[in-house]
Amino acid sequence: MNVSKPAALEDAKVTHQLAQFIVESKYEDLPSDVVKEASRAIINCLGCAIGAAQHDTVQFAVEAFEPFFGAPQAQVWGRSERADILHAALINGISTHVLDFDDTHFRAVHPSAPVLPAIFALAEWRQFSGKELVHAYVLGVEAEIRIALSVFPEHYDRGWHITGTAGIFGAAAAVGKLLKLNVEQMTWALGIAATQSSGLREMFGTMCKSFHPGHAAQGGMAAALMAQKGFTSSIRALEAKRGFGQVMSSRFDPAVITTDLGKQYEISKNMYKPFACGLVVHAVIDACLQLRKQHQLKAEDIASIHATVGPLVLELTGIKSPRTGLEGKFSVYHAMAVAIIYGAAGEDQFSTEVVCNPAVEKLRSLMEVKVDPQVRKLEGYVTIVLRNGKQLECHVSDALGSLVHPMSDEDLENKFKGLTSKKLSADTTRRLLDQCWKITQLNDISPLMRATAVL
């Protein structure tokens, strides 16, 4: 007889069901597009981390923790140091996120920063294969996104930085998969993660924002390592009255965590940022780049530029005359100017030097930006009037990097190169990218990790 159980009983098994799915999943279950997406996410993540590895935020963290590093088990990406896997996970989690240039799930969470640094460190130390790594990665992302969506957006609205609070489950699940935990151990790992889940949005604008995914990577890894040794936690950490969902959110929908597990993978909805600034200006950058390419546009031929954008753009990025690289990131005018002059809007184009370049300043002064509440977040209109009177127009309905218009593999390679060209030789870059594309053929990912070193 098929009697449906009351909801409360079903709820009682959420943590267990998720743990069971992770434990029982086989690499062969993963669709090929999911495996491919993992390579794309890995390239994006490593590029961001190597590019940011000398950032003050990373530097200060290394200085704070280096006296306590254990054996040199894993590479600190983009730097010379090697560290024990827990510290490597922490530092690499910080460097992946610090530029805010890492990947974004289309609804919530930067998926890779809490997960990849943890599993890459363990896999380097224990010489896991690329298939094992990709499998653990996909499952970790699945766990963190589903848990995030079970409390989103109320949890985020209350003030939690969900990349930290949900990310720690991703790291625990992924490391637990590599460690081949059984179901009971996996529920403990998720529980030990839950009881460390933290990260306040009040920290936005400070170094702590990128500390959150680093902390999640380290704490989630610790959770799995502890569970492996028999360290117990509640086996109902997600759904219990005093568990994650109900303590840390005003709404918790456990069905989001367990429905159709394995039938689709959240990694398929991952997005990569082509431009090193806030998403709201990506559409007009995209439009400027298209016009530049189509018309071999030169700044000196331009009389004026007119953009129509969504309602948040001037609120978030309305600085007309930025004076520093950081201010440049909050200037839609600067973003369009560099797209036209440099044909790019990467980290290099948001340096103070570029912001103060007279040619860029001149072009910014020729712009007018209007807000239209009907224009969507990743949409934008640009009209360029040339000195010869000709008008060029471009409407971008979904900016490059959106799910509708994703970055191509070549775009991702170019982003990687832009972030790392001053640090890695062309040879190393090519080797690294090739290894990432064929990661599932690698028997041991440690050579790939060592190639991320910058000496």
Site for its own copies, rule CB under 8 A: 56-57, 60-61, 63-65, 67-71, 73, 84-87, 158-161, 164, 191-192, 194-203, 205-208, 211-212, 215, 222, 225-226, 228-234, 236-237, 240-244, 246-247
Name the residue nearer to its own copies (CB basis): 145 or 240: 240
Structure-block tokens of residue 73: 């088990």
Contact 353, 332 (CB under 8 A): no
Give 326's strand partners. none
Buried b (16+ CB within 10 A) or exposed e, 283-314: bbbbbbbbbbeeeebeeeebeebbbbbbeebb
CA-nearest of 425, 410, 423, 439 to 54 is: 423
DSSP 8-state secondary structure symbol assigned to residue 240: S
Q: Closest separation between CB of residue 225 and its own copies, Å?
A: 5
Q: Closest separation between CB of residue 246 and its own copies, Å?
A: 7
Q: Closest separation between CB of residue 344 and its own copies, Å?
A: 29
Q: Closest separation between CB of residue 93 and its own copies, Å?
A: 14
Q: Closest separation between CB of residue 156 and its own copies, Å?
A: 10
Name the residue nearer to its own copies (CB basis): 200 or 314: 200
Structure-block tokens of residue 151: 């409390």
Other CB atoms within a 10 A radius of the CB of residue 65 amount to 16
Structure-block tokens of residue 305: 């530029």
Q: Closest separation between CB of residue 170 and its own copies, Å?
A: 16
Contact 392, 291 (CB under 8 A): yes
Q: Closest separation between CB of residue 168 and its own copies, Å?
A: 9
DSSP 8-state secondary structure symbol assigned to residue 358: H
Q: Provide the pairing of β-strand 391-396 with 74-75.
A: unpaired
Name the residue nearer to its own copies (CB basis): 164 or 418: 164
Name the residue nearer to its own copies (CB basis): 28 or 56: 56
Name the residue nearer to its own copies (CB basis): 194 or 277: 194
Give 369's strand partners. 307
Q: Closest separation between CB of residue 6 and its own copies, Å?
A: 21
Q: Provide the pairing of β-strand 270-271 with 302-309.
A: unpaired
Q: Closest separation between CB of residue 199 and its own copies, Å?
A: 6
Name the residue nearer to its own copies (CB basis): 61 or 283: 61
DSSP 8-state secondary structure symbol assigned to residue 403: S
Name the residue nearer to its own copies (CB basis): 69 or 381: 69
- Strands (E) across 276-329 are located at 302-309
Name the residue nearer to its own copies (CB basis): 225 or 339: 225
CA quadruple 370, 375, 380, 385: dihedral sign: negative
Q: Can you tell me the distance from the alpha carbon of 286 to that of 454, in angstroms, rounded to the nearest whole number? A: 32
Contact 143, 17 (CB under 8 A): no
Name the residue nearer to its own copies (CB basis): 77 or 211: 211
At 129, is the secondary structure helix, strand, or coil? coil
